[in-house]
A and B are shown apart, each in its own frame.
Chain A
Amino acid sequence: MASEGKRNPKHEQLGRAKLDPDLIKEVEARGGKNAQMCYQCGTCTASCPMGPRSGLRVRTIMRKANLGMREVLDDPDLWLCTTCYTCSDRCPRRIMATDAIIALRNLATQEHKVPMSMIKIMGSISKTGHGVPNSEGNKKKRVLLGLPENPPTTHSYPEYIKDINKILEVTGLLKIKEEMEAENQ
């Protein structure tokens, strides 16, 4: 082709050298099915209940992911999606934009860019089996209702917690938690 070998100065301005064509493939592999099909109509951003009150722009995130702009993983607004799936249900391309955002969050987690609030929830599950564990005040309420102080979950059978931690260990999450706790001390 005639243009081969020539570099488009516009692409240079965009920092094309830094673009990662594999990013969108990683997003799709982690559950963001058909993310490459996005034609930027903006139905997602228009449907997003978080958009009008924050910087979250789903269409922009989809564009950056498709362009291979890995800096999208540093965007704090990536964590403002409530995963309501309205954008996904309305997408004319049947793209699960919510799942694409979740996939990007997974990639950000691998780079230790996950908010500590999430790591805390993992810590609670690792310790008790529950993201929201029982409390002393709640135990009294349970007894008044004729329920046992603790539900018949890992709270009553803590011997099951070791299996949970094994899953956290083999998926690498326990290591990320420990490293991030050390980094944030």
Chain B
Amino acid sequence: MKEYNFFLGCIAPNRYPGIEASAVKTSRKFDIELSDFKGASCCPAPGAFGSMDVDAWLALGARNICLSEKEGKDIALICNGCYKSLFEANHRLKADPALKEKINAILANIDTEFQGTIEVRHLIDILYNDVGTEKVKESVEVPLTGLNVAIHYGCHLLKPKFDRTFGSSERPRFFDELVEALGATSVEYKEKMMCCGAGGGVRSYKIDLALDMCNEKLYNMTQANADVIVNVCPFCYLQLDRGQVEIKEKFGDVYDLPVLHYNQLLGIAQGMSPEELGLDANEIDVEPLLAKIL
């Protein structure tokens, strides 16, 4: 069994707790234990917080990493925003001694020192690279045959590519393979790699522009006959799910396209009930989707 400190971030535990619950439950099927990570905070939000002060953003991210270093556990997380903050802080501080010294000078004020002894992993990376699509496929009890999935990778999982390990940010395949391992079809749609529009603090700064971008994305997905949007970022999730309610109110466009985190889709395929995956927390009704596959 491999144990990770489970870094929750904000939106998963505090808005869509089904993402948190489904990650823990589905990972156990692969002998991965996601443990309580005591005292962790907001990563902090890279777009909003990094925009105010990069050093403070790195120091606050490093504070979270240092808590896990003390326990000697690697970190697993389920949000692209958290991934940007913690993965980048971890590998930048490991790679750049001058930066590490600068951030450690800040951390000295709270009697903490970044050592560089642990890894920060996105759960989708662990599923693809450690568990593998074959084992994911073997865990399926309810094949999702006939389900058209519009995959949204989300920006900070893949970009900037020079600060990541996934290779191409233009035409990646690993997420598609993980969805196809469940029996579903990953549909190609226009501008698939486009941003959801929420990041960089834009959703809280100018929501109409954030939603305009989201609207274009949703339109392209429905044009490809998608039954569901699957993503690995709770902030994209919120933008794509709650955003549909806001888009209906502001622009009058209606999509009714359900949104799931990959862990929730995996949970359905592993035979878990919609209730234990927290799908009722969604704004957009998931019933039509469930009717198609269950």
Contacts and interface: CB of A to CB of B under 8 A. Distances in A.
A30 B14 contact: no
Contacts of A81: 200, 202
Contacts of B130: none
Given A53-B209, A125-B44, A152 B109 contact: no
Interface stretch (A3-11, A38-46, A100-108): A100-108
B159 A89 contact: yes
Interface stretch (B52-60, B136-144, B222-230, B252-260): B52-60
Contact of A138 (B14, B156, B204): B14
Contact of A171 (B38, B53, B112, B202): B53
Contacts, number: 215
Contact of A135 (B14, B54, B209): B14
Contact of A131 (B44, B51, B275): B44
Interface string A59-90: 00000000000000000000111111110110
B160 A98 contact: yes
B278 interface: yes
A102 B55 CA distance: 12
Interface residues of B, number: 68
**How would you classify the secondary structure of chain B's contact residues: helix, strand, loop or mixed?**
helix
24 contacts: A49-B191, A49-B194, A50-B209, A50-B213, A79-B206, A82-B195, A86-B159, A117-B48, A117-B201, A117-B204, A121-B201, A121-B204, A130-B10, A131-B49, A132-B11, A135-B15, A145-B278, A146-B21, A146-B276, A147-B20, A163-B110, A164-B41, A166-B110, A168-B56
Interface of A: 30-31, 49-50, 53-54, 79-86, 88-89, 94, 96, 98, 102-103, 105-106, 109, 114-115, 117-122, 125, 129-135, 138, 141-142, 144-147, 151-154, 156-157, 159-161, 163-164, 166-168, 170-173, 176
